[in-house]
Structure 1
Amino acid sequence: MGDKTKRPDRRRQIGRLGEDVAAEHLAGLGWEILARNWRTRYGELDLIAAIGDTLVIVEVKTRASRTFGDPVAAVTPHKLRTMRLVARQWLAEQERYWPIIRFDIVSIQLDIADPEDLERATLAHHTGVVE
């Protein structure tokens, strides 16, 4: 039973590391991070960012092992539908109008031997995965 309590903490830690890498990547591109881990009862948006007049909803998928392949493969059609639903909820609370809304996925592969060595992480940014 003790093993089960450790896994979610590890998964949460890996997810947080990946989101940190993704947020730093986007900020380095000149994007403004508007929100992180925005939640409703229907789901969560990892990152909400803006570049000019474009709002970008970003799903971050992080892996610390190669067992399951490219992290982007974990984003299912169901997850994409959930992202759209939750994004509509976030937009309903905003005063600003966004003429362009895009959905991206940032996949992070952490180093197997040392996941916390973010210099060794690899990143792939998939743009416009949902129209």
Structure 2
Amino acid sequence: MVGHNLFYGNKGEDIATKFLEKKGYKILERNYRRIGTEIDIIARDKSEIVFVEVKSRNSRKFGNASEAVTTYKMKNIIQTATAYIMEKSLYDIQVRFDIIEVYFNEKEINHIISAFMLS
């Protein structure tokens, strides 16, 4: 089942990447890994760096995909984003944390801008 989930995750990330590019975002990184965690997509939206978590589901039957982004997951993303900012010396730039939900059966993408904040 892990391979199955990995396939859907990668497919969802590919769809989310194309979606962001069409909106004018510049993709900087995909699957950025540091300190044992990962950020699916790092992009630039005008003057902001956007850290994007992608959640893919076949449908909304069992709730919204974004509900899988727990407080623990948010903390991991923020830690990894901090590592990226330090690595790239991006100290004077606005950052944002978005979630993109991809629903395959509905062929729907839901982009939640500023889904969570630095705490």
Fold shared by both chains (TM-score > 0.5)? yes
Q: Percent identity?
A: 32
- Given candidates 94, 100, 103, the residue that maps to 1:106 is 100
Shift of 1:92: 1.0
Q: Does 1:122 align with 2:116?
A: no
Partner of 1:81: 75
Moved over 6 A (4+): none
Count of residue correspondences: 117
Further displaced range: 92-101 or 29-38? 92-101
CA-to-partner distance for each residue in 1:35-81, whole Å, 9 max, x for gaps? Answer: 00011233000000001210000000001254532111111111111
RMSD: 1.4
For 2:99, the aligned partner's letter is: I
Is contact 1:106-1:126 (8 Å) kept? yes
Is contact 2:35-2:80 (8 Å) kept? no
Report the 3-state secondary structure (helix = DSSP H, G, I; strand = E; otherwise coil) of the residue aligned with 1:24.
helix
Report the 3-state secondary structure (helix = DSSP H, G, I; strand = E; otherwise coil) of the residue aligned with 2:73.
helix
Shift of 1:95: 3.6
Partner of 1:115: none
Further displaced range: 7-16 or 35-44? 35-44
Q: How does 1:1-131 map to 2 (within 5 A)?
A: 7-111=1-105, 121-131=107-117
Structure 2 unaligned segments of length 5 or more: list them: none
Q: 1:94 to 1:71 in 2, by over 3 A?
A: same
CA distance in 1, matches of 2:14, 2:2: 18
TM-score, scaled relative to structure 2: 0.91
